[in-house]
Structure formats: C-alpha cells, structure tokens
Structure 1
Amino acid sequence: MNSPDLWNFPEVQFCFALANNSCPRRVRSGLSVCAMYVVMIGAIVMTMLGNLAVILSIAYFKQLHSPTNFLILSMATTDFLLSCVVMPFSMIRSIESCWYFGNLFCKVHSCCDIMLCTTSIFHLCFISVDRYYAVCDPLRYVTKITIPVIGVFLLISWSIPILFAFGLVFSELNIIGAEDFAAAIDCTGLCVLIFNKLWGVLASFIAFFLPGTVMVGIYIHIFTVARKHAKQIGLGSMMKQIMSTSKMKASAKKESKATKTLSVVMGVFVLCWLPFFVLTITDPFISFTTPEDLYNVFLWLGYFNSTFNPIIYGMFYPSFRKALRMIVSGMIFRPDSSTLSLFPVHA
C-alpha cells in the first residue's frame, strides 16, 4: 500500500525567493532557532559588556595606566569590535544559513573576522611575553616592558593581521586550486571563506599555531620558574625556623594560584581556538566535506575566547573588580574619582 505522504516532499526554501540561482535556506525547528539566538545573543552581549568594562576601567582610572594594562586595553578594544562588527552578522549567517548583506560586505566581514580574531590572539601572545618578564626577570621588568616596547607590540598585533586579512581575501589567493569547488557552490546568499590546501595551513600557522606555540611555551616556562621560586622560599623559611609554617602555607597558596591561573589561561585559549584551526587545515584535504553546523560550532567556540578574555585578564584581578564595582555603583561620577586607590593597602 502506497502512502500519499511518501510523495509530499518538504518544500525547499531559498534565501532570496525572487532571485535567480538563490542559495537554499536551511530549515530549522522554531525551538532550535530560538535556542541558537539566545545563546549567540547572550555571547555577543557578554563580550560587549565585559570588554567595555575593561576598556572603561583602564581608560578612566589613573592607577591602571601602566604598560601592561595598555596592552590589555588594546586587546579588550579588539574583542569589543569583534562583538560589534563581526559576531552579529555571523550569528544571522550561522542560524539562517543565508547572507543577506551583499557580496562586498561579505568580503569586508570576512576581512574583519580574520583580522580581529588574529589580532586578539597576537595580543594574548604578547601578554604572555609581558608575564614572562614580570615573573622570570622581575628586576629588569620595568626597564624591559616600557611604553615604547608596548607600542611595538601593538603595532605588530594590529598591522600584521590587517595586511594578512585584507591582502588574502581581496587577492583571492586562498581560492587558487579550489576554483571548481567555489564555482559549484556559488549562489546568491552565500558568504563562505574557502581555503585551499596551502593557505589552510599557512593561515592557521600565522593566526594560531605560531603565536599559540610561543604563548604556551612561555607559560610553561613561567610555571616552571614559579614553582622553583616557591620551593626556594619554602626552603628558606624552613632554615630560619621563624614563622616557617605561615611562609610555607603562603608559598603553597601562591604556587597553587599560579598553577590555577596559568591552567585557565592555556586551557581556555587552546579549547576555544584549536578545533577551528585544525578544521581549517583538514577541510581542504577532505574535499570540503565538513558539515556546515560543525564549522559554525567551532567558529563560535573561537569567538567565545573573546568573551572569556575580559574575565581572565580583567576580572581575576582585585583592582579590576574594584574598578568595576565603582563603575556600576556610579562612583566614577564623583569629583576626582579617577585618582582613587584601586590596590589593597598592606601594613
């Protein structure tokens, strides 16, 4: 017996119903669409507010005007721009599987996406360099990490990603060798960045693996040095036999805190970005067969790194937490509030 339902195929929906060669639109259930919008809008708002809080704190409070914090300020600005310029349009594309904003803006959006994500990663790398001198060479830290040095870090962090992103996208070097695939999927309402085998590897190396390897290597070295210092402090306190117990406890606490902080820094960074860049490398070698939803999951996982950055590099520090409380409570509107002390006073 033939059921009539077998012959009722679901109607295909298109991104642009009246346009020739329109891309098909992915049909999702209302519940999944709502859930995706809630998660992605929540990530965008958190990224905006978190990085804006860091920007306002460093820009307003004079005690936070230090070379290190200027580096963090620039990174927060990068992540804030990502949440404003890139993430909202990526959200619509990811959920609707359609691009409604034209071919030119597709290229500009792709450039900004690559540029800001790479710039954010470069900032993380240079922050690790700053932390290296702070922990491993504290006596020369003030002379090594100066405003001009931070200026060089910022110049590299912004200029290389800008040249890399706009040069790659507008030259279309990334498509050479994959023209047949690009032509096969071309339709109105499509905005995807295709990487051939060469540029899948090169782009991932430039944007992630090179700065990521430097960053992880430096943090492992910092962790090793911090443990060595903690052991030396512990041995010294045992020899003095005076307040040895409290010093050893303080040493153990400091070591535990350093371990936890470095674990969070490296863990979040690798967890957020490694899957996306591994996919970028492997996709051309498997004939671009990666499911679209899997690509979007890994892309948004990378975006979440910009959501976590202000939490890790800002809100973990008591001075930033105090600055945030003053901003939220409205204390910044009082006269001379920009000069108030944000650091704990020790007797």
Structure 2
Amino acid sequence: MNSNLSAALCYESLNNSCPRTVYPLVLHLSFYFLFTTIIVLTVSGNLLVIFVILLFQNPLATSTNHMILSLSVAGVLIGGLVLPNSMVRSIETCWYFGQMLCEIHTTVDIVLCNTTVWHLTFISVDRYLAIFHPLHYRNLMTNKTGMAMISSSWSLALVFGFVIIISNPEVKIQSDLNESCVGGCDSSHVREIGVEYFIIFFLIPVCIIITVYSRIFFVAQRHAKVIHSYNKGPKPSAPLVVKDLKATKTLSVVVGTFLFCWTPIFMCNLFDPLIGHSINSVLYDSFMWFAYLNVMFNPLIYVFFYSWFRKTVKVLLNKLFLQN
C-alpha cells in the first residue's frame, strides 16, 4: 500500500457519503493497538480501584472513598461506553453506528468527561481540608458533604449535556461534513458554546485545583524547613508534616497531568468559535484523546499514591498468584 494517506468514502454505495481517510496498514493496526491499550488500561485500572475499595475498604468510611469510588465508576463508563466507538471513529474517520447513537454517544461523552473534571476538583478540596484542618476534617467532610460533592459533579455534567444535546438542538455538535454527508459524527465537545463550556468545566476547576495545591505546596515547603531547622521538633507536628511532604511530592504530577490532558481540548473549545470553527477535526480528535488519557491516569494519580491502596494491591496479588 502507498505510504501516503489515501481517500475513500465511508459508504461507497452512497453519493452523499462522507469522505474517509485510509491509513497505511501498519499505521492502521498500530492505531488500533494503541487505542485498545488505552481502553484496556482505563477500564482495568478503574475497575481495580472499585474492587479494592468495595472489598477491602469500607466505601462509606470516608468522603474520600466516596469520591474515589464515584470517579472510578465514571472512568469505567468512559472506557467501556465512550472509548470503543471513539476509537473506531478516530481510526476509520467515519461513524458507522447511526445518527441517533452519534447523539447519544456525544451526550454520554460530554457528561462523563465533565463529571470527572469536577470530581478531581472536589478531591483537591477534600485533600486541602484533610491537611489544613486535620482535627476538624471529620466534622467538615462528613458522608453527607461527600455525597453533596459527588451529586454536584454529576448534576452539573448531566444538566449541561441535556441542555446542549436535547433541549437546544440548534447548538448540537456538528461538523461541516455532518451537515451534508452520511457517516460523520464530530468528536469535538460543544464547539458552538465554547466560552460557557470553558468557564464551567475548565476555568473554575483549574482555578480551584491550582489554588488549593499551591497553598498545600507552600505550606509543605515551610514545614519542611522547620523540620530541617529543628530536627528534634515536637512530635505532635509529625503527622501533619508527613502529609504535607507527601502532598508536595505528588503536586507536580497531579496538576501537571490534569493541565496536560485537558488544556488542549478546552483551548480549542474556547477559540474555535472565535475563528469561525476552522480548527481541523483531526486536531480536535487528537486533543480529545489527550483528555481521555487523564481518565486512564486517574487511578495512578489519585489512588496508587495512597499507601493503603498499594498495600492492599500487594496483598491481593499475593493471594491470587503466590498462595495456591
């Protein structure tokens, strides 16, 4: 096959079929291998989190467990319901599942991705309270408070998806090809109302996350200096210092990964309407997969860094593979 990309039609028998980009066989198979790996890691990683919390932890014990469990459920749903069809669309550059499923898929995609953003935001608030108000944490972050945060995360995403896709059809996500050909389903998120989308699901969460973790970082640095200056400091401060130092260690990973994964697609959603929706759909699709990667990374960032989780996984693996 020619090493250059070639063009075809999504439906060869239809005159109004959308064009299809045909990749060389090696590249085509490589894409499927890469995206399948992402899907498997996303589903398995989040399922592992759910399994560990439900079987080895009391999911109702802390609000943190509530939020991690809910975040992982959203991750499994994204990996199982959204990514497989997105993979086919991205690689085949066609949508073979019908217009109704296109709208359903887009709605589910928007709802699940946006709820993960707000889950991550509320988790940062939870960590802030645990570190800065350890004595009052249990009173501040009750199960009721945790459930309110989870409900808010899902409600914001559900209402937003409903308004865009169902109750306001004139702003449905459509590509230029979608309007005149069969086999198209734009992968971009809410291109027609980029400013509102950007503010609610990126600007506000990013401001909260950066503010929270920045304060944790500076306080942790201050405590670290105290430890170095007074090696024989009072023991009661040790637990707080340990938490601060751990928060400092993971700060760059937490904030950096979130910004790396989500900034490109939200920047596109912000500027695309301002430049007449001229951003290439392939570029949009690539940035959307960057955002999907955050769902795959979430178990590593927000759970694998917890010592209790690592210990539990080791115990589980020992029971499964070493004790027969």
* TM superposition score normalised by structure 1: 0.82
Return the letter of the residue paired with 1:151: M
Between 137-146 and 197-206, the greater mean CA deviation after superposition? 197-206
Question: RMSD between aligned alpha carbons?
Answer: 2.9
Equivalent residues in 2 for 1:64-213, closer than 5 Å: 65-172=61-168, 175=171, 182=176, 185-192=179-186, 199-213=193-207
Between 269-278 and 316-325, the greater mean CA deviation after superposition? 316-325
Return the letter of the residue paired with 1:260: K
Distance 1:184-1:158 versus aligned 2 partners, 3 A rule: closer
Give 2:218's aligned residue: 224
* TM superposition score normalised by structure 2: 0.88
CA contact (8 A) 1:175 1:194 kept: no
Aligned partner of 1:310 among 299, 307, 311: 299
Q: Please, which runs of 5 or more residues in structure 2 have no aligned partner?
A: none
Offset at 1:125? 0.3
Give 2:32's aligned residue: 37
Q: What is the SS of the residue equivalent to 2:184? A: coil
Return the letter of the residue paired with 1:162: L
Q: How many residues align?
A: 315
Aligned partner of 1:328 among 314, 317, 323: 317
Q: What is the SS of the residue equivalent to 1:139? A: coil
Q: Please, which runs of 5 or more residues in structure 1 have no aligned partner?
A: 1-9, 335-347
Between 222-231 and 50-59, the greater mean CA deviation after superposition? 222-231
Matched, 1:276 2:276: no
Offset at 1:255? 6.0
* Bigger Rg over Cα: 1
Aligned partner of 1:299 among 288, 292, 295: 288
Distance 1:149-1:22 versus aligned 2 partners, 3 A rule: same
Identical-residue share of aligned pairs (%): 37
Give 1:342's aligned residue: none
CA contact (8 A) 1:86 1:112 kept: yes
Return the letter of the residue paired with 1:21: N
Offset at 1:237? 3.4
Q: Distance in 2 between matches of 1:199 and 1:210?
A: 16
Q: What is the CA deviation profile of residues 197-229 of structure 1, one whole-angstrom value per residue up to 9, with x for unaligned ones?
A: 761111122122211211111111111222223
Q: What is the SS of the residue equivalent to 1:26? A: strand
Q: Distance in 2 between matches of 1:330 and 1:33?
A: 40
Offset at 1:75? 0.3
Q: What is the CA deviation profile of residues 279-304 of structure 1, one whole-angstrom value per residue up to 9, with x for unaligned ones?
A: 11112222222223221211100000
